[in-house]
A = this chain, B = another copy of it.
Amino acid sequence: LTIVESAAPEQSTPKRAVIVAIAEPARAAAWRERLAALLPDYTVVDDTEPTPADRVRYAMVWKPRRGFFGAYPQLRAILSIGAGVEDILSDPMLPQGIAIVRMIDDALTVGMREYVLLHVLRYHRRQPELEAAQQERRWQPIDAGTAAERRVGIMGLGVLGCDGARHLSSLGFKVAGWKRKPAAIDGIEVFAGREGLDAFLARTQILVCLLPLTAATRELIDAEFLKKLPRGACVINASRGECLVENALLAAIDSGHIAGATLDVFAREPLPPDHPFWTHPKITITPHIASLTALESGARHIAAAIADLEADRVPLGLVSRGNGY
């Protein structure tokens, strides 16, 4: 029998803390537990527990309350469990000079890939029209043509956008992308900036919005924008509700210019019960489930980011405050 002595001294300095601010308790507990297992050198605490403020070195958050960050003078970085960080950046109490890291997670990428493929194929194959025909017991064969005849446009060519574009392209779709700055991406026609927008929209039959929410993308999809899509185009929004002017979309659909929309995100979530989107026959609602961060791989991403920051390396997913993502 070998007795292994504890390596820790009796009177150790108190561990540094990672504070978890995730509104939903069950979800917070699950993340806390996963992260604690990966970070033995840290105490992982909930923001509802009393914790000495100057011990808090990192915060792992999802939609934290306004002013949250001001309470921790030693905070070195904020780690988001989602890919969008607009709620963090818009907090006026956000300290200068601390790092913000957004979620980059394989499960997030795979989930969005599946969502984008499903809903692009659904419009491409005119499944909503077939379901309307079924409602009326109408046998109405439709030849939707093949992907090679269908032009899909992806707005936002980050990790999720590029992945979706690549998979659509490999199914034969004619895929173009739009982003802030010019870039060369294999197999995808890239349009850039405000000056590339009109041409991008004019050639796009199925539009997929995967943009981060920033000052430049807020309410980007408005009446004028929608007019630039060809008649009969469909819109899929899986980024942030605020990228789209909801009334403008309703008007464009009701005028017959836009054939349909599939929306995963909304200006207010949950979508209020009296919102006209719920009952609109040309609008498909999904309750912000396009892509969900997986606990296991998501916690690994955050632990790796903390290790990088401690070693003065640039972590994956480091946010540029200037760009907003």
Q: A130–B172 contact, CB under 8 A?
A: no
* Complex interface bits, A15-32 against B, C-beta within 8 A gives 1, otherwise 0: 000000000000000000
A187 to chain B, nearest CB (A): 16
Complex contacts, A140 vs chain B, CB 8 Å? 287
Complex contacts, A134 vs chain B, CB 8 Å? 278, 284-285
Partner of A118, one of B113, B125, B278: B125
Stretch from A70-78, A141-149, A245-253 contacting the other chain: A141-149
Residue A288 lies at the interface, judged by CB distance under 8 Å to chain B: yes
Within 8 A of B (CB), among A239-287: 269-271, 273, 278-279, 284-287
Q: A114–B125 contact, CB under 8 A?
A: yes
Q: A287–B139 contact, CB under 8 A?
A: yes
Binding site for B on A (CB under 8 A): 107, 110-111, 113-115, 117-118, 121-122, 124-125, 127, 130-131, 133-134, 137, 139-144, 146-148, 167, 171-172, 269-271, 273, 278-279, 284-289, 292, 294
The 9 closest A-B pairs by CB, nearest first: A139-B270, A118-B121, A137-B278, A141-B287, A134-B285, A139-B287, A110-B146, A137-B273, A141-B289
